[in-house]
Amino acid sequence: MTRAAIPIAVTIAGSDSGGGAGIQADLKTFSALGCYGASVITALTAQNTLGVTAIHDVPPEMITAQIDAVFDDLAVRAVKIGMLSRPPAIAAVAEGLTRWRGAPVVLDPVMVAASGARLLEDAAVESLLRLLVPRADLITPNLPEAAALLEAPIAENEAEMEAQGRALLARGARAVLMKGGHSTGPDSVDLLVTADGVTRFPAPRAATRNTHGTGCTLSSAIAAGLAQGFSLEESVAKAKRYISGAIAAADQLDVGQGHGPVHHFFDLWG
């Protein structure tokens, strides 16, 4: 029997017991887009569509052990990083990426859950900027996250989004995807800001409250594209189409009583 090669992507993130965000959303996205997904769990959360009720951080040495186990055996072609709530966890991931350098890295600076629960300690922001932002090939902040990273007001238009993207480049990021989901208007516009310029990715804004896990899903979709050998711009464009479809189909699912998940398998379940 012939063995088929499959691109492998790994998610380094927290677990969402409700299944809509975090590790669970990342693995669903990898699967939907044709990648084999591995995982490094950085935190356990007790959460559902109504909110987060508890967080248990995984010890740094266990994060290290997971990273080494995955990279020592699997031919990882892309890395997605999500929830890292404390400086020791951030340091463990940074050290692991230094040992196993090579695969492109997409960093989603997860700070607050869709329910409003704080997921990143204040002390961890500096560690994130110092240790991981310069190691990432792309960071994907939403507007509140970009503002928090820069200690600045939330961007209110595309010119301010571009300016904050450039400010994050100056902090060491290689590329920044400024996500416009928190903005207003008929379109949700993301801006890919690099040293070479700005690329605009618009999509019609869907009228749904079921947007749990959108940031996790978009960043892992970009990682899936990179794992498959697409360029950064191609990967962002493909991921934008995927997340737009998953949000548009979210109301087809009846999951929970609060902010439900996007439909990761909208193109596969018919």
Q: What pairs with residue 51 in β-bridges?
A: 48
Please state the separation of Cα 169 from the chain's center in Å.
Answer: 18
How far separated are the first and last CA of the chain, in Å rounded? 31
Q: Strands, E, within the chain: which ranges? A: 8-16, 36-48, 51-57, 76-81, 105-107, 138-139, 175-178, 187-194, 197-204
Fill in the DSSP letter of residue 134. G
Q: How far apart are CA 191 and CA 166, in angstroms?
A: 11
Q: What is the dihedral sign for C-alpha 220, 26, 39, 225?
A: negative
Instruction: Please count the other Cβ atoms lying within 10 Å of the Cβ belonging to residue 73.
Output: 9
Q: How far apart are CA 158 and CA 125, in angstroms?
A: 24
CB 165 within 8 A of CB 133: no
Token pair belonging to 67: 């990273």
Which positions are catalytic? 179, 211, 213-216
Q: How far apart are CA 156 and CA 161, in angstroms?
A: 7
Region label for 109, one of left (φ > 0), alpha (ψ between -120 and 50) or beta (otherwise): beta
